[in-house]
Structure 1
Amino acid sequence: MSLVGSQGILSATEILIVAAVFCLVCLLIQSFRQHVPKGLKRPPGPRGYPILGNVLELRKDPHLVLTKLSQKYGDVMEIRIGTRPVLVLSGLDTIKQALVKQGEDFMGRPDLHSFRHVTDGQSLAFSPDSGEVWKARRKLAQNALKTFSIVPSPTSSSTCLLEEHASKEADYLVTKFLQVMEEEKSFDPYRYLVVSVANVICAMCFGRRYDHNDQELLSIVNVGEQFGDVAANGNPADFIPVLQYLPSRSMNLFKDFNKRFIRFQQNIVKEHYETFDKVRACKTLTAPGLSSHSLPFCFDTITTALSWSLMYLVTYPDIQKRIQEELDQTIGRERTPRLSDRGTLPYTEAFILEVFRHSSFLPFTIPHSTTRDTVLNGYYVPKDRCVFINQWQVNHDEKLWKDPLVFNPERFLNAEGTEVNKVEGEKILVFGLGKRRCIGEHIARWQVFLFLSTLLQRLEFSVRGGKKVDMTPLYGLSMKHKRCEHFQIKLRFPMKSLK
């Protein structure tokens, strides 16, 4: 075997020697870059293959692989994806130490290839920027979202604008489910959940609601899963540069989705300027990078939480019945659930917490990076080190939870079952911690509560006889389950106008 080059013929042996030398040079360069100061130590971790690192081990279910590796190497562990070192953090105490107590050190974002395509690299959530401008933009976004959670509705008895929009959309969803059930006898609830959740966000951001058959909105929500697939931790193209230049269908879809969403946002903003004089209220939420990062990720997160909730409800009908009994006793059937009811529905709240914990549908946070050289648990961590936060491991840690693989909402209740144990609830990691904690967390939690309580107050969920739901999670930035088209519903009491 030989190859003809410009200087003659190269034998296979010579090619192998050149390749080996190249690998050794790469490893030597990496070792020089990772000089560890005296008295400190490098984080332990598994040895990977030259060039590839540990990428082959992470091809399937990285959250499970890294959880198993953490049992061997500890809560501070280093792996390699390609030639790039990545710090993996597990254990609630270690993650709190990094993201809260040493928050300034770990608040960065890595400059990953896929992240550059989110809002043209200006996303509040995915951009590597963490300086003063980023902090000002984040504060602006937090204030805008807070407005919707405290400003009372001028047109209804709802306590705030969020409650008004979510309650109206939940009412519509009940009607839509009944209509589809009558026509098709069974259905997939996900396709209707995602539009309803997106409608709440659009109503808040743009003052506009879309029909469930609106092609403009469907073109966004129906391909939103591709966003999570590419942006998930461990995407090889983010760590092995040569892959960025190879054809990739998923990456092309990801780029197309982001371009499509920017156009979607820009068209709405333009419409506001043309038709609405008092546009200042809208401008707060359509500031550059805010809605573009918040909307796809936010409605995907809420939809995924609700969809998992329905899967658990049909899998555990006794739990569904107990929630409905609590709703009947506390709220009755004469009015709709409100945000103020959360504290009086402990079992419902415990169920939501257990869905968050057990499914861990956000297995990792968006990757962090270090903003300067630092030390964590005695290990040296250099500046610009990419950091994975394994939330799935925390939510299934046997040191924190009894029988972590068992779905049991009662683990969050006091002995009498009358109150939620807030200390236990705070152990769950879903929306991250510290300076990069998701700014839409409260809105997400409140929407899940309002949708779920409204649906369960009026409807009973089941699956067609002889069919079962598949609870196997599909890995991504947010983990989905396999779609189920066998859902059935039954009206719990005659429909009438509720207060």
Structure 2
Amino acid sequence: MSCFVTSLVRHIGSLWCEPTTIVLTWIAFFSFAIYWLQKKSSRNLDTDGGKNHVTHFRDLPSPRGIPLLGNVTQLGDKPHLVLTEWAKKYGSLFRIKIGCKDVLVVTGLDTIRKANQKRHGDFAGRPPYETSKLICEGNSMTFENYSESWTRRKRCAKQAILLYTTGRDPGKRSVMEESANWNANNLIDEMIEDADEQDHVIDPEPLVLRNGLNTISQLCFGRTFGKGDPMLYEFLSISQSFDGAMGSAQPVNFWPFIKHIPVLNRPYKHLQTYAIAYWKFVVSLLDKHLDTYNPNHLRDIIDCLKFASDTASKKAKNTNNNENTADYLMTSNGVNGNSCQHAQDNGCNANIDGLTNDLDQGDSSAYNLQKRICYTAGDVFGAGYDTLHTALIWTIFYMAAFPETQKKLRDEVDAAVGPDENPTLRLHKSLTPYTQAWIYEVLRHVAIVPLLIPHYTTRETELENCQIPPDVIVMLNAYQTTRDPELWEEPEEFRPERFLQESEDGEEGSRLSGEAVSNLIVWGTGPRKCLGYELSRNQLFIFVCNLVRRCNIAQSRPGVEPVYPWPVTFGLTIKPTEFKVKITER
């Protein structure tokens, strides 16, 4: 969500200053219409911190905004910080306006949990954003609205990931571990090689980008990219262009009429182009993959999705003969329930009719299943790539910025993992509580996802004695939960030990604190909890173990670079700006 409001601030000026008669005419008309609607419906109350009893969403306290823009200019480029300050004044529930849309802001771990644990998925929806309708032909599971078919689809995808990480036999988990170990060691080899050529000082970002991509690509599609592979550079180009276009196009989510206005709709059109290019790239990776599918040899997530869907379909057929069980768990209603209709409405007919021609359409049932598997794989691929890449670059940053914790990591990993072994979850995770605590503390201290992807109320509901109507955008301030002094003592301090507790025999810091781990909601909570959170956590564990075993990571300029705090960029995740570290092989 932070990328939404950041881009609004950056682009709003240029959008409204285009010197064309048609643009000025449209702006004048819609400005007057929206201002009139706001004057009619607004009940902004700058109250005493939300202490008064609130009975309806429209009566919630709200900071005053300005017509047409609402509060967007006040949020600035660090909305999570502004919302955290406003929560101190208005309480755990308050209302803001972005454009002409009312948004419910939910703050505080207990309140967020209450919202996400509501029966019937009251807060588990997704807003019908125009940009969301362009992703995966409008069938992205990440942005699809909550429904029975979405629940089945997620259950199938979750089962597929479990198959990949744990398998039907003890050997399956080793596939994921071997993949992560191989990519981690490849990253370290390249870092050491580059460091030897540059007086041991490197920018780790390009290497982390490629190896993070390879890790997720191997997981999803069973393939990796070499240094000179043209597909690697094609994807990086698409990814960077897509991220930029996604930011620029965010105003259309709050002022939907923009997409119909020449000049103003240019960022939206660019996003449409890059979304098609991204989808085509994913389809190319899937091409012919299922032709070699073998249920007795599951190679990657694609195979596991196929296996999980087939298994669930057979089970459904056996329990309900009247049920149309073709791809039972892979059915999708699309963003807010309209399947590919959204993409068609947005001019993506070529996307739907053209790109998926690459898949086998000989059998309509098999063809639809291939497409839906591709949608889910595209979700896992895109989300996993961004999350792993961001977590890895922060891992290297914190090892350099806090060398005393790096030493503790190394001592623990060296004691647990033999010199001729690769770290594994089964043999070594229980022996390395500090390593796991360190990873959790990095994610907390960075607040890697400060504002969770926006939610949406699916029906009229109640929260904290407040009646909330359906179709309300909901922002969950995860950042505030990482800085809440009631949850974390001295929250600004980097202290991995906060995730440790005494063992049953009284040994201090010898096991993870379940309570502390549960207080970290970086992967979300409830029905919308990140599908691959366990997989991401396990991959990160293997990368960290390999990094400290094989090399020393130090500041490139002692006491200067990198240090915390460090400049960051805001998007769906928080990333550090460019920094350099000193790498030496052990």
| Both proteins in one fold, TM over 0.5 | yes
Match of 1:12 in 2: none
Q: Which moved more, 1:206-215 or 1:372-381?
A: 206-215
1:151 pairs, out of 155, 167, 170, with 167
How many Å apart are 1:108 and its aligned residue? 0.5
How many Å apart are 1:198 and its aligned residue? 2.0
Check if 1:363 corresponds to 2:450: yes
Q: Which amino acid aligns with 1:184?
A: Q
Q: 1:40-439 residue pairs with structure 2 within 5 A?
A: 40=56, 42-102=59-119, 104-128=121-145, 130-151=146-167, 159-185=173-199, 186-221=201-236, 224=239, 227=242, 235-244=250-259, 245=261, 246-247=263-264, 251=268, 254-272=271-289, 276=292, 278=294, 282=302, 284-285=304-305, 287-340=373-426, 341-414=428-501, 416-439=508-531
How many Å apart are 1:158 and its aligned residue? 7.7
Q: Is the 8 A contact 2:166 2:172 kept in 1?
A: no
Q: Structure 1 residues 18, 311: CA separation in 2 closer, same or farther (over 3 Å shift)?
A: closer
Q: Which amino acid aligns with 1:458?
A: R
Q: Which amino acid aligns with 1:333?
A: P
Match of 1:14 in 2: none
Match of 1:449 in 2: 541
How many Å apart are 1:228 and its aligned residue? 5.3
CA offsets per residue over residues 362-393 of structure 1, 9 Å max, x none? 11111110000111101121100000111111
C-alpha distance in 2, partners of 1:436/1:19?
A: 35
Check if 1:468 corresponds to 2:484: no
Check if 1:478 corresponds to 2:565: no
Q: Structure 1 residues 267, 361: CA separation in 2 closer, same or farther (over 3 Å shift)?
A: same
Q: Is the 8 A contact 1:374 1:383 kept in 2?
A: yes
Count, aligned residues: 468
Q: Which amino acid aligns with 1:216?
A: M
How many Å apart are 1:194 and its aligned residue? 2.3
Q: Which amino acid aligns with 1:362?
A: V
**Root-mean-square deviation (Å):** 2.9
Tell me the TM-score normalized by structure 1.
0.86
- Give the match's secondary structure for 2:72: coil
Q: Structure 1 residues 152, 339: CA separation in 2 closer, same or farther (over 3 Å shift)?
A: farther
- Give the match's secondary structure for 2:552: strand
CA offsets per residue over residues 394-450 of structure 1, 9 Å max, x none? 111122111111111111122512111111111011111101111111111011101
C-alpha distance in 1, partners of 2:443/2:465?
A: 32
C-alpha distance in 1, partners of 2:169/2:282?
A: 25
C-alpha distance in 2, partners of 1:64/1:26?
A: 29
Question: Larger % of helix: which?
Answer: 2
How many Å apart are 1:220 and its aligned residue? 2.1
Q: Is the 8 A contact 2:459 2:469 kept in 1?
A: yes
Q: Structure 1 residues 94, 103: CA separation in 2 closer, same or farther (over 3 Å shift)?
A: farther
How many Å apart are 1:234 and its aligned residue? 11
Query: Can you give the 5+ residue segments of structure 1 that lack an aligned partner in the other structure?
Result: 1-16, 33-37, 493-499
Match of 2:314 in 1: none
Q: Is the 8 A contact 1:99 1:434 kept in 2?
A: yes
Q: Structure 1 residues 141, 158: CA separation in 2 closer, same or farther (over 3 Å shift)?
A: closer
C-alpha distance in 2, partners of 1:52/1:251?
A: 19
Tell me the TM-score normalized by structure 2.
0.74
